[in-house]
Amino acid sequence: MGKDRQSGSTTRFCSNQISKSNIQKGSSGFPFSFLFPTLMALSQSLKTMNELHYRITQRVSECIAIANQQLGCDMPVPAIRFDIRGKTAGMALLQRWVLRFNPVLLEENSDAFFREVVPHEVAHLIVFARFGKVKPHGKEWQAVMLRVFGIQPQTTHSFDVSSVEGKTFTYQCACDHMQLSVRRHNKVQRQQAQYICRRCKHPLTFTQTMQ
């Protein structure tokens, strides 16, 4: 329901504007029932993500509790966000006491996140709380991973990132092919920029899209 500003009367949106004959029915006889499988899949996906977020939140709390017990500290549980994009699995915002995780990589690698990524990021917070600003993956961080969590320290992950890699666009010059980012490609398409090959000095021309 919405209010007509000019007349002050109540406006009924779509009232009598769609006849029964114009409503698409699925095999079950209900309007728009053809959307049911898509909606059910979306609902299941959201349920799965909520469960994963809960598991990660619990794992963070568990890691903080382990560290507090072993180190005699009283560190609070950090705020947790699932908003990283791209190839990064996790990130610790030290001074803000926040952990960020990649929801796509989490869904694809949930066990590894629970087992390795969460302790990895929590260890960064612990090191900052105890030692201040030091080398990110230095001896202090490695010691926390080994002695507090009993995990062999790994500075990078080995997840398949094909699903989160940024789309690139293939361009051609007189001597080779090369990839341009979405930002640069859009500039070319809007005629805001033209890129020149450094070797042959010919302008780059768009050929195809690659994932």
Q: Which residue has the tokens 């361009």?
A: 171
The annotation status of 124 as a binding-site residue, yes or no, is: yes
The annotation status of 185 as a binding-site residue, yes or no, is: no
In the residue annotation, 116 being an active-site residue is answered as no
Beta-strand pair 98-101/79-81? parallel
Displacement of CA 63 from its chain's centroid (Å): 22
Q: Which of 107, 108, 121, 140 is catalytic?
A: 121
Sign of CA dihedral 150, 155, 160, 161: positive
Specify the 3-state DSSP secondary structure of 106: helix
Structure-block tokens of residue 206:
């768009």
Any bridge partners for residue 93, and if so which? 98
Q: What is the 3-state secondary structure (H, E, C) of 125-163?
A: HHHHHHHCCCCCCCHHHHHHHHHHCCCCCCCCCCCCCCC
Residue numbers belonging to the annotated binding site for Zn(2+): 120, 124
- Catalytic machinery residues: 121
